Structure 1
Protein backbone atom coordinates (compact mmCIF):
# COMPACT_ATOMS: atom_id res chain seq x y z
CA UNK A 1 0.00 0.00 0.00
CA UNK A 2 1.40 3.38 -0.98
CA UNK A 3 1.05 5.49 2.17
CA UNK A 4 2.33 8.52 0.26
CA UNK A 5 -0.72 8.30 -1.98
CA UNK A 6 -3.11 8.67 0.95
CA UNK A 7 -1.21 11.43 2.74
CA UNK A 8 -1.61 13.41 -0.48
CA UNK A 9 -5.36 13.11 -0.21
CA UNK A 10 -5.61 16.03 2.22
CA UNK A 11 -4.25 18.64 -0.12
CA UNK A 12 -5.19 17.40 -3.56
CA UNK A 13 -6.39 20.26 -5.73
CA UNK A 14 -9.71 19.82 -7.48
CA UNK A 15 -10.08 18.33 -10.92
CA UNK A 16 -12.41 19.66 -13.59
CA UNK A 17 -15.62 18.31 -12.33
CA UNK A 18 -18.44 15.55 -5.53
CA UNK A 19 -21.81 14.98 -5.56
CA UNK A 20 -24.20 17.85 -4.81
CA UNK A 21 -27.32 16.92 -2.83
CA UNK A 22 -26.28 13.30 -2.37
CA UNK A 23 -25.56 10.99 0.57
CA UNK A 24 -22.92 8.49 1.62
CA UNK A 25 -23.03 5.27 -0.36
CA UNK A 26 -23.33 1.91 1.37
CA UNK A 27 -19.68 0.75 1.65
CA UNK A 28 -18.63 -1.39 -1.31
CA UNK A 29 -22.10 -1.30 -2.89
CA UNK A 30 -20.43 -0.07 -6.10
CA UNK A 31 -17.51 -2.50 -6.51
CA UNK A 32 -16.72 -1.13 -9.98
CA UNK A 33 -15.77 2.34 -8.66
CA UNK A 34 -12.17 3.45 -9.12
CA UNK A 35 -10.37 6.36 -7.45
CA UNK A 36 -7.68 7.91 -9.65
CA UNK A 37 -4.72 9.71 -8.04
CA UNK A 38 -3.21 11.84 -10.82
CA UNK A 39 0.11 13.66 -11.00
CA UNK A 40 1.17 16.44 -13.38
CA UNK A 41 4.80 16.90 -12.41
CA UNK A 42 4.66 17.79 -8.70
CA UNK A 43 0.98 18.80 -8.82
CA UNK A 44 -1.68 16.27 -7.94
CA UNK A 45 -5.42 15.93 -8.52
CA UNK A 46 -7.97 13.15 -8.56
CA UNK A 47 -10.84 11.75 -10.59
CA UNK A 48 -13.25 8.85 -10.59
CA UNK A 49 -13.38 5.93 -12.98
CA UNK A 50 -14.90 2.47 -13.27
CA UNK A 51 -13.61 -1.03 -13.88
CA UNK A 52 -14.80 -2.51 -17.20
CA UNK A 53 -12.32 -5.40 -17.46
CA UNK A 54 -9.76 -6.88 -15.05
CA UNK A 55 -7.05 -4.67 -16.53
CA UNK A 56 -9.02 -1.67 -17.85
CA UNK A 57 -10.61 1.34 -16.17
CA UNK A 58 -12.82 3.73 -18.14
CA UNK A 59 -12.71 7.43 -17.24
CA UNK A 60 -12.82 10.91 -18.81
CA UNK A 61 -10.05 12.01 -21.18
CA UNK A 62 -9.51 15.22 -19.18
CA UNK A 63 -8.42 13.03 -16.21
CA UNK A 64 -5.05 12.45 -17.88
CA UNK A 65 -1.69 13.05 -16.21
CA UNK A 66 2.01 12.23 -16.19
CA UNK A 67 1.30 9.41 -13.74
CA UNK A 68 -1.93 7.81 -12.52
CA UNK A 69 -2.46 5.31 -9.71
CA UNK A 70 -5.83 3.54 -9.50
CA UNK A 71 -7.39 2.53 -6.17
CA UNK A 72 -10.09 -0.14 -6.41
CA UNK A 73 -12.30 -1.43 -3.59
CA UNK A 74 -12.22 1.87 -1.67
CA UNK A 75 -14.95 3.48 0.42
CA UNK A 76 -13.02 5.90 2.66
CA UNK A 77 -10.12 6.96 0.48
CA UNK A 78 -8.13 8.36 3.44
CA UNK A 79 -8.03 4.98 5.20
CA UNK A 80 -5.85 1.97 4.50
CA UNK A 81 -8.81 -0.38 3.96
CA UNK A 82 -8.08 -4.09 3.56
CA UNK A 83 -10.46 -4.14 0.57
CA UNK A 84 -8.34 -1.71 -1.44
CA UNK A 85 -6.23 -2.72 -4.45
CA UNK A 86 -3.70 -0.09 -5.54
CA UNK A 87 -2.60 -0.58 -9.16
CA UNK A 88 -0.48 1.82 -11.26
CA UNK A 89 -1.61 2.66 -14.79
CA UNK A 90 0.60 1.18 -17.49
CA UNK A 91 -0.75 3.29 -20.33
CA UNK A 92 -3.37 6.00 -20.91
CA UNK A 93 -5.51 5.77 -24.05
CA UNK A 94 -7.56 8.96 -24.51
CA UNK A 95 -9.93 9.10 -27.48
CA UNK A 96 -7.98 10.30 -30.49
CA UNK A 97 -10.54 13.06 -31.20
CA UNK A 98 -10.82 14.41 -27.65
CA UNK A 99 -11.19 18.21 -27.72
CA UNK A 100 -10.36 19.87 -24.40
CA UNK A 101 -11.99 23.14 -25.47
CA UNK A 102 -15.42 21.71 -26.32
CA UNK A 103 -15.11 18.63 -24.04
CA UNK A 104 -16.15 16.50 -27.02
CA UNK A 105 -15.13 12.81 -26.98
CA UNK A 106 -14.19 13.09 -23.28
CA UNK A 107 -13.39 9.41 -22.76
CA UNK A 108 -10.21 7.47 -21.92
CA UNK A 109 -9.24 3.86 -21.26
CA UNK A 110 -6.59 3.21 -18.63
CA UNK A 111 -4.59 0.02 -19.06
CA UNK A 112 -3.53 -1.27 -15.63
CA UNK A 113 -0.08 -2.68 -14.91
CA UNK A 114 -1.64 -5.79 -13.38
CA UNK A 115 -5.08 -7.35 -13.40
CA UNK A 116 -7.49 -6.59 -10.58
CA UNK A 117 -8.56 -9.47 -8.35
CA UNK A 118 -12.34 -9.63 -8.60
CA UNK A 119 -14.17 -10.25 -5.33
CA UNK A 120 -17.08 -8.85 -3.32
CA UNK A 121 -15.40 -5.44 -3.05
CA UNK A 122 -13.94 -5.15 -6.56
CA UNK A 123 -15.99 -5.98 -9.65
CA UNK A 124 -16.87 -5.01 -13.20
CA UNK A 125 -19.78 -2.94 -14.48
CA UNK A 126 -21.43 -3.85 -17.78
CA UNK A 127 -21.31 -1.42 -20.71
CA UNK A 128 -24.38 -0.58 -22.80
CA UNK A 129 -25.15 -1.86 -26.27
CA UNK A 130 -23.58 0.30 -28.99
CA UNK A 131 -25.65 3.42 -29.78
CA UNK A 132 -28.31 2.51 -27.19
CA UNK A 133 -30.40 5.55 -26.22
CA UNK A 134 -31.40 6.23 -22.62
CA UNK A 135 -34.72 8.10 -22.90
CA UNK A 136 -35.40 11.25 -20.84
CA UNK A 137 -37.17 10.56 -17.56
CA UNK A 138 -35.03 7.54 -16.67
CA UNK A 139 -33.61 7.83 -13.16
CA UNK A 140 -29.94 6.87 -12.95
CA UNK A 141 -27.29 7.25 -10.25
CA UNK A 142 -23.87 8.85 -10.00
CA UNK A 143 -21.16 8.49 -7.35
CA UNK A 144 -17.80 10.01 -6.47
CA UNK A 145 -15.41 11.40 -3.88
CA UNK A 146 -15.58 14.97 -5.15
CA UNK A 147 -16.82 18.21 -3.66
CA UNK A 148 -20.25 18.30 -2.02
CA UNK A 149 -20.73 22.09 -2.14
CA UNK A 150 -19.84 24.95 -4.45
CA UNK A 151 -19.06 27.06 -1.38
CA UNK A 152 -15.99 25.25 -0.10
CA UNK A 153 -13.09 23.24 -1.45
CA UNK A 154 -13.71 20.19 0.71
CA UNK A 155 -14.03 16.90 -1.10
CA UNK A 156 -15.50 13.80 0.51
CA UNK A 157 -13.41 11.12 2.25
CA UNK A 158 -16.20 8.58 1.68
CA UNK A 159 -17.97 7.65 -1.55
CA UNK A 160 -21.10 9.78 -2.08
CA UNK A 161 -24.00 8.97 -4.41
CA UNK A 162 -27.15 10.59 -5.78
CA UNK A 163 -30.06 9.71 -8.06
CA UNK A 164 -30.27 11.93 -11.13
CA UNK A 165 -32.74 12.06 -14.00
CA UNK A 166 -31.88 11.85 -17.71
CA UNK A 167 -33.05 15.08 -19.32
CA UNK A 168 -33.98 15.86 -22.92
CA UNK A 169 -31.13 17.39 -24.93
CA UNK A 170 -33.09 20.66 -24.98
CA UNK A 171 -32.42 21.01 -21.22
CA UNK A 172 -28.79 21.71 -22.18
CA UNK A 173 -29.51 24.45 -24.75
CA UNK A 174 -26.77 25.33 -27.21
CA UNK A 175 -27.13 29.09 -26.83
CA UNK A 176 -24.02 30.89 -28.01
CA UNK A 177 -23.60 32.68 -24.67
CA UNK A 178 -24.88 29.88 -22.44
CA UNK A 179 -22.77 27.33 -20.62
CA UNK A 180 -24.00 24.48 -22.83
CA UNK A 181 -22.96 26.02 -26.16
CA UNK A 182 -20.60 23.09 -26.85
CA UNK A 183 -23.20 20.42 -26.00
CA UNK A 184 -23.19 17.63 -28.61
CA UNK A 185 -26.20 15.27 -28.35
CA UNK A 186 -24.48 12.48 -30.25
CA UNK A 187 -21.56 12.22 -27.83
CA UNK A 188 -23.02 13.75 -24.64
CA UNK A 189 -25.95 13.28 -22.23
CA UNK A 190 -27.81 16.03 -20.36
CA UNK A 191 -28.52 14.77 -16.83
CA UNK A 192 -30.05 16.20 -13.65
CA UNK A 193 -33.26 18.12 -13.01
CA UNK A 194 -32.57 21.70 -11.96
CA UNK A 195 -35.33 21.68 -9.31
CA UNK A 196 -33.89 18.59 -7.59
CA UNK A 197 -30.49 20.20 -7.10
CA UNK A 198 -28.61 16.89 -7.32
CA UNK A 199 -25.56 16.68 -9.51
CA UNK A 200 -22.02 15.49 -10.02
CA UNK A 201 -19.42 18.17 -9.28
CA UNK A 202 -15.70 18.88 -9.13
CA UNK A 203 -13.72 15.74 -8.33
CA UNK A 204 -16.37 13.37 -9.72
CA UNK A 205 -15.06 13.55 -13.29
CA UNK A 206 -14.60 10.18 -14.93
CA UNK A 207 -17.09 8.40 -12.68
CA UNK A 208 -19.99 6.43 -14.17
CA UNK A 209 -23.61 7.38 -14.68
CA UNK A 210 -25.32 4.07 -13.88
CA UNK A 211 -28.69 3.39 -15.52
CA UNK A 212 -30.34 -0.02 -15.17
CA UNK A 213 -27.06 -1.44 -13.86
CA UNK A 214 -25.02 -0.40 -16.89
CA UNK A 215 -22.52 2.46 -17.28
CA UNK A 216 -24.38 4.77 -19.68
CA UNK A 217 -22.40 7.94 -19.01
CA UNK A 218 -19.11 9.40 -17.75
CA UNK A 219 -19.03 12.56 -15.62
CA UNK A 220 -17.57 15.20 -17.94
CA UNK A 221 -18.49 18.84 -17.27
CA UNK A 222 -21.10 21.25 -15.97
CA UNK A 223 -21.72 24.62 -14.36
CA UNK A 224 -19.13 26.26 -12.11
CA UNK A 225 -21.60 26.20 -9.20
CA UNK A 226 -22.63 22.57 -9.63
CA UNK A 227 -26.22 23.37 -10.54
CA UNK A 228 -27.82 20.66 -12.70
CA UNK A 229 -28.08 19.60 -15.40
CA UNK A 230 -24.52 18.34 -15.82
CA UNK A 231 -23.08 16.88 -19.00
CA UNK A 232 -21.90 13.29 -19.30
CA UNK A 233 -20.04 11.49 -22.09
CA UNK A 234 -22.52 9.17 -23.86
CA UNK A 235 -20.81 5.77 -23.45
CA UNK A 236 -22.98 3.91 -26.00
CA UNK A 237 -21.58 6.10 -28.81
CA UNK A 238 -18.07 4.90 -28.01
CA UNK A 239 -18.66 1.15 -27.62
CA UNK A 240 -16.96 0.33 -30.98
CA UNK A 241 -13.92 2.44 -29.95
CA UNK A 242 -13.79 0.84 -26.47
CA UNK A 243 -14.01 -2.70 -27.84
CA UNK A 244 -11.43 -2.06 -30.57
CA UNK A 245 -8.98 -0.40 -28.18
CA UNK A 246 -9.27 -3.16 -25.58
CA UNK A 247 -8.92 -5.88 -28.23
CA UNK A 248 -5.80 -4.23 -29.62
CA UNK A 249 -4.17 -4.10 -26.18
CA UNK A 250 -5.09 -7.53 -24.84
CA UNK A 251 -2.05 -9.82 -24.60
Structure 2
Protein backbone atom coordinates (compact mmCIF):
# COMPACT_ATOMS: atom_id res chain seq x y z
CA UNK A 1 0.00 0.00 0.00
CA UNK A 2 1.02 3.59 -0.35
CA UNK A 3 0.50 6.05 2.47
CA UNK A 4 -1.15 9.37 1.86
CA UNK A 5 2.32 10.78 2.07
CA UNK A 6 3.27 14.35 2.80
CA UNK A 7 3.77 16.45 -0.31
CA UNK A 8 6.97 18.41 -0.88
CA UNK A 9 7.19 22.10 -1.74
CA UNK A 10 8.01 23.95 -3.92
CA UNK A 11 5.46 22.44 -6.29
CA UNK A 12 6.54 21.12 -9.65
CA UNK A 13 6.20 23.68 -12.43
CA UNK A 14 3.56 22.71 -14.97
CA UNK A 15 2.96 24.04 -18.45
CA UNK A 16 -0.37 25.73 -19.06
CA UNK A 17 -1.43 22.92 -21.39
CA UNK A 18 -0.69 20.22 -18.82
CA UNK A 19 -2.56 22.13 -16.13
CA UNK A 20 -5.58 22.38 -18.42
CA UNK A 21 -5.49 18.66 -19.15
CA UNK A 22 -5.20 17.77 -15.47
CA UNK A 23 -8.12 20.00 -14.58
CA UNK A 24 -10.28 18.41 -17.23
CA UNK A 25 -9.36 14.87 -16.22
CA UNK A 26 -9.49 15.21 -12.43
CA UNK A 27 -11.68 18.04 -11.11
CA UNK A 28 -10.84 19.05 -7.55
CA UNK A 29 -10.03 16.71 -4.58
CA UNK A 30 -10.64 13.44 -6.45
CA UNK A 31 -14.39 13.86 -6.78
CA UNK A 32 -14.84 16.44 -4.04
CA UNK A 33 -15.59 20.12 -3.64
CA UNK A 34 -14.34 23.25 -1.92
CA UNK A 35 -15.40 23.34 1.73
CA UNK A 36 -17.45 26.22 3.04
CA UNK A 37 -14.85 28.55 4.61
CA UNK A 38 -14.32 27.75 8.31
CA UNK A 39 -17.06 25.10 8.33
CA UNK A 40 -14.44 22.70 9.73
CA UNK A 41 -12.81 24.84 12.43
CA UNK A 42 -11.00 21.82 13.91
CA UNK A 43 -8.81 21.38 10.80
CA UNK A 44 -5.07 21.91 11.12
CA UNK A 45 -2.56 22.46 8.34
CA UNK A 46 0.69 20.80 9.40
CA UNK A 47 3.94 21.91 7.76
CA UNK A 48 7.22 20.06 8.30
CA UNK A 49 10.19 22.19 7.28
CA UNK A 50 13.05 20.44 5.47
CA UNK A 51 15.26 23.48 4.95
CA UNK A 52 15.11 27.16 4.16
CA UNK A 53 13.01 26.74 1.03
CA UNK A 54 11.40 23.31 1.32
CA UNK A 55 8.69 21.81 3.45
CA UNK A 56 6.23 18.92 3.54
CA UNK A 57 2.55 19.05 4.37
CA UNK A 58 -0.05 16.99 6.22
CA UNK A 59 -3.45 17.53 7.75
CA UNK A 60 -4.51 17.20 11.36
CA UNK A 61 -7.29 18.05 13.79
CA UNK A 62 -7.47 19.91 17.09
CA UNK A 63 -8.67 17.86 20.09
CA UNK A 64 -7.41 20.12 22.91
CA UNK A 65 -6.25 23.72 22.88
CA UNK A 66 -2.64 22.51 22.76
CA UNK A 67 -2.95 19.11 21.03
CA UNK A 68 -3.38 18.22 17.36
CA UNK A 69 -3.84 14.66 16.11
CA UNK A 70 -2.24 13.61 12.82
CA UNK A 71 -0.79 10.48 11.18
CA UNK A 72 2.44 8.96 12.48
CA UNK A 73 3.75 8.61 8.93
CA UNK A 74 3.83 12.42 8.80
CA UNK A 75 6.66 12.33 11.33
CA UNK A 76 9.90 13.79 10.05
CA UNK A 77 13.16 14.38 11.86
CA UNK A 78 14.47 16.86 9.32
CA UNK A 79 13.11 20.11 10.67
CA UNK A 80 10.63 22.05 12.76
CA UNK A 81 6.88 21.51 12.51
CA UNK A 82 4.44 24.39 12.45
CA UNK A 83 0.66 24.14 12.71
CA UNK A 84 -1.78 26.54 11.10
CA UNK A 85 -5.28 26.73 12.61
CA UNK A 86 -8.34 28.62 11.45
CA UNK A 87 -7.28 28.60 7.80
CA UNK A 88 -9.31 28.10 4.64
CA UNK A 89 -6.97 29.45 1.96
CA UNK A 90 -3.44 28.67 3.17
CA UNK A 91 -1.89 31.05 0.64
CA UNK A 92 -3.59 34.11 2.13
CA UNK A 93 -3.52 35.94 5.44
CA UNK A 94 -7.03 35.43 6.80
CA UNK A 95 -8.70 36.91 9.88
CA UNK A 96 -8.70 34.56 12.85
CA UNK A 97 -6.00 32.17 11.71
CA UNK A 98 -3.32 31.13 14.22
CA UNK A 99 0.13 29.69 13.68
CA UNK A 100 2.44 28.08 16.23
CA UNK A 101 5.41 25.78 16.51
CA UNK A 102 5.07 22.20 17.66
CA UNK A 103 6.68 21.76 21.03
CA UNK A 104 6.60 17.96 21.07
CA UNK A 105 5.68 15.22 18.60
CA UNK A 106 4.54 11.88 19.94
CA UNK A 107 4.06 9.10 17.38
CA UNK A 108 2.43 5.92 18.65
CA UNK A 109 5.21 3.74 20.09
CA UNK A 110 4.06 0.75 18.04
CA UNK A 111 3.71 2.53 14.70
CA UNK A 112 4.98 0.38 11.83
CA UNK A 113 6.22 2.39 8.84
CA UNK A 114 5.94 -0.62 6.52
CA UNK A 115 2.40 -1.77 7.33
CA UNK A 116 1.00 1.57 8.60
CA UNK A 117 -0.32 -0.10 11.73
CA UNK A 118 -0.96 2.32 14.62
CA UNK A 119 -0.65 5.29 12.25
CA UNK A 120 -1.39 8.03 14.76
CA UNK A 121 0.65 10.86 16.28
CA UNK A 122 -0.03 13.65 18.77
CA UNK A 123 1.47 17.11 18.35
CA UNK A 124 1.74 19.29 21.43
CA UNK A 125 1.61 22.94 20.41
CA UNK A 126 4.01 25.48 21.85
CA UNK A 127 1.09 27.82 22.46
CA UNK A 128 -2.52 27.05 23.30
CA UNK A 129 -4.99 27.82 20.54
CA UNK A 130 -7.50 30.58 21.19
CA UNK A 131 -10.91 29.08 20.47
CA UNK A 132 -13.08 31.18 18.17
CA UNK A 133 -15.48 30.91 15.25
CA UNK A 134 -12.52 29.83 13.09
CA UNK A 135 -10.80 27.52 15.61
CA UNK A 136 -12.64 24.81 17.52
CA UNK A 137 -12.09 21.33 18.95
CA UNK A 138 -13.58 18.17 17.44
CA UNK A 139 -14.95 15.39 19.68
CA UNK A 140 -13.35 11.95 19.75
CA UNK A 141 -15.33 8.70 19.73
CA UNK A 142 -15.83 6.47 22.74
CA UNK A 143 -13.35 3.66 23.24
CA UNK A 144 -14.04 0.77 20.82
CA UNK A 145 -16.99 2.62 19.29
CA UNK A 146 -17.75 1.18 15.84
CA UNK A 147 -18.89 3.08 12.79
CA UNK A 148 -21.64 1.14 11.03
CA UNK A 149 -20.92 0.11 7.44
CA UNK A 150 -22.92 2.28 5.10
CA UNK A 151 -22.49 5.36 7.30
CA UNK A 152 -21.78 8.53 5.32
CA UNK A 153 -18.70 10.38 6.52
CA UNK A 154 -16.46 13.08 5.10
CA UNK A 155 -12.79 13.93 4.87
CA UNK A 156 -11.03 17.20 4.06
CA UNK A 157 -7.56 18.49 3.30
CA UNK A 158 -5.27 20.69 1.25
CA UNK A 159 -3.58 17.79 -0.56
CA UNK A 160 -3.28 16.86 -4.21
CA UNK A 161 -6.36 17.44 -6.36
CA UNK A 162 -5.30 14.93 -9.02
CA UNK A 163 -3.29 11.72 -9.22
CA UNK A 164 -0.54 13.62 -11.04
CA UNK A 165 2.21 14.94 -8.72
CA UNK A 166 2.63 18.51 -7.65
CA UNK A 167 -0.92 19.86 -7.86
CA UNK A 168 -2.21 20.65 -4.38
CA UNK A 169 -4.99 22.95 -3.23
CA UNK A 170 -4.68 26.35 -1.59
CA UNK A 171 -8.25 26.08 -0.28
CA UNK A 172 -9.65 23.37 1.95
CA UNK A 173 -11.35 20.63 -0.07
CA UNK A 174 -13.81 18.02 1.19
CA UNK A 175 -15.42 14.82 -0.04
CA UNK A 176 -18.18 12.51 1.24
CA UNK A 177 -17.37 8.81 1.62
CA UNK A 178 -19.20 5.68 2.70
CA UNK A 179 -17.78 3.41 5.39
CA UNK A 180 -17.34 -0.10 4.01
CA UNK A 181 -17.62 -3.58 5.49
CA UNK A 182 -14.40 -4.91 7.01
CA UNK A 183 -14.55 -7.98 4.79
CA UNK A 184 -14.59 -5.78 1.70
CA UNK A 185 -11.64 -3.79 3.03
CA UNK A 186 -9.73 -6.99 3.72
CA UNK A 187 -10.42 -8.18 0.20
CA UNK A 188 -9.00 -4.96 -1.23
CA UNK A 189 -5.92 -4.71 0.99
CA UNK A 190 -5.35 -8.35 2.02
CA UNK A 191 -2.95 -8.67 4.98
CA UNK A 192 -2.34 -4.91 5.11
CA UNK A 193 -5.81 -4.27 6.52
CA UNK A 194 -6.23 -4.75 10.27
CA UNK A 195 -9.96 -4.46 11.18
CA UNK A 196 -9.33 -3.79 14.86
CA UNK A 197 -7.28 -0.64 14.29
CA UNK A 198 -8.31 0.38 10.78
CA UNK A 199 -11.46 1.19 8.82
CA UNK A 200 -11.93 1.95 5.15
CA UNK A 201 -14.25 4.20 3.20
CA UNK A 202 -14.92 5.14 -0.38
CA UNK A 203 -17.51 5.35 -3.14
CA UNK A 204 -18.33 2.23 -5.13
CA UNK A 205 -19.56 4.21 -8.14
CA UNK A 206 -17.20 7.19 -8.45
CA UNK A 207 -13.55 7.94 -7.80
CA UNK A 208 -13.73 9.89 -4.55
CA UNK A 209 -10.93 10.02 -2.01
CA UNK A 210 -8.40 11.98 -0.07
CA UNK A 211 -4.94 11.81 -1.59
CA UNK A 212 -1.28 12.65 -1.05
CA UNK A 213 -0.89 15.63 1.28
CA UNK A 214 -4.16 14.88 3.10
CA UNK A 215 -2.46 12.46 5.51
CA UNK A 216 -3.44 12.97 9.13
CA UNK A 217 -6.76 14.65 8.41
CA UNK A 218 -9.91 13.35 10.11
CA UNK A 219 -12.59 11.10 8.70
CA UNK A 220 -15.61 12.77 10.30
CA UNK A 221 -18.78 10.77 10.96
CA UNK A 222 -21.62 12.56 12.70
CA UNK A 223 -19.30 15.42 13.78
CA UNK A 224 -16.92 12.96 15.47
CA UNK A 225 -13.35 12.21 14.33
CA UNK A 226 -13.63 8.48 13.69
CA UNK A 227 -10.62 8.03 11.39
CA UNK A 228 -7.24 9.44 10.35
CA UNK A 229 -6.16 9.52 6.69
CA UNK A 230 -3.54 6.75 6.43
CA UNK A 231 -3.01 4.95 3.11
CA UNK A 232 -4.61 3.91 -0.15
CA UNK A 233 -4.01 2.96 -3.80
CA UNK A 234 -1.62 5.03 -5.92
CA UNK A 235 -4.36 5.88 -8.40
CA UNK A 236 -6.78 7.15 -5.72
CA UNK A 237 -9.28 4.41 -6.54
CA UNK A 238 -11.56 3.62 -3.59
CA UNK A 239 -11.57 2.49 -0.89
CA UNK A 240 -8.92 4.08 1.33
CA UNK A 241 -7.75 3.08 4.78
CA UNK A 242 -8.05 5.21 7.92
CA UNK A 243 -6.67 4.69 11.41
CA UNK A 244 -9.60 3.73 13.66
CA UNK A 245 -9.46 6.46 16.32
CA UNK A 246 -11.74 4.70 18.81
CA UNK A 247 -9.13 1.98 19.44
CA UNK A 248 -6.55 4.55 20.54
CA UNK A 249 -8.63 6.49 23.07
CA UNK A 250 -6.82 5.01 26.11
CA UNK A 251 -3.41 5.85 24.60
CA UNK A 252 -4.54 9.37 23.66
CA UNK A 253 -5.90 10.08 27.15
CA UNK A 254 -2.88 8.61 28.92
CA UNK A 255 -0.43 10.52 26.72
CA UNK A 256 -2.24 13.83 27.03
CA UNK A 257 -2.44 13.37 30.79
CA UNK A 258 1.35 13.29 30.98
CA UNK A 259 1.92 16.44 28.94
CA UNK A 260 3.13 19.53 30.71
CA UNK A 261 1.31 22.77 30.11
CA UNK A 262 2.60 24.64 27.05
CA UNK A 263 5.06 27.43 27.65
CA UNK A 264 4.31 30.38 25.38
CA UNK A 265 7.98 31.34 25.51
CA UNK A 266 9.25 27.94 24.47
CA UNK A 267 9.52 27.21 20.77
CA UNK A 268 11.58 24.05 20.54
CA UNK A 269 13.08 22.32 17.53
CA UNK A 270 12.35 18.72 16.62
CA UNK A 271 14.02 16.18 18.90
TM-score where L is the length of structure 1: 0.90
Structure exhibiting the larger radius of gyration computed from Cα positions: 2
Which residue of the other structure, out of 219, 237, 243, is the alignment partner of 1:233?
A: 243
2:223 corresponds in structure 1 to 213
Separation in structure 2 between the aligned mates of residue 204 and residue 129 of structure 1, nearest angstrom: 24
TM-score where L is the length of structure 2: 0.83
Q: Report the 3-state secondary structure (helix = DSSP H, G, I; strand = E; otherwise coil) of the residue aligned with 1:181.
A: helix
Shift of residue 20 of structure 1?
A: 1.3
- In structure 1, the gaps of 5 or more residues are 1-8
Runs of 4+ more than 4 Å apart: none
Shift of residue 169 of structure 1?
A: 1.2
Q: Report the 3-state secondary structure (helix = DSSP H, G, I; strand = E; otherwise coil) of the residue aligned with 1:161.
A: strand
**Greater displacement, 209-218 / 18-27:** 18-27
Following superposition of structure 1 onto structure 2, how do residues 127-206 of structure 1 map, counting pairs within 5 Å?
127-173=140-186, 179-206=189-216
Which residue of the other structure, out of 40, 44, 67, is the alignment partner of 1:30?
A: 40
1:107 aligns with 2:120: yes
1:46 aligns with 2:45: no
Q: Report the 3-state secondary structure (helix = DSSP H, G, I; strand = E; otherwise coil) of the residue aligned with 1:200.
A: coil
**Residues matched between the structures, number:** 237
2:70 corresponds in structure 1 to 59
- In structure 2, the gaps of 5 or more residues are 1-7, 13-27, 262-271
Separation in structure 2 between the aligned mates of residue 111 and residue 122 of structure 1, nearest angstrom: 16
Q: Report the 3-state secondary structure (helix = DSSP H, G, I; strand = E; otherwise coil) of the residue aligned with 1:96.
A: coil
Report if the CA contact (8 A) 2:83-2:101 is conserved.
yes
Separation in structure 1 between the aligned mates of residue 58 and residue 181 of structure 2, nearest angstrom: 27
Q: Report the 3-state secondary structure (helix = DSSP H, G, I; strand = E; otherwise coil) of the residue aligned with 1:196.
A: coil
Separation in structure 2 between the aligned mates of residue 112 and residue 173 of structure 1, nearest angstrom: 36
Which residue of the other structure, out of 67, 77, 90, is the alignment partner of 2:90?
A: 77
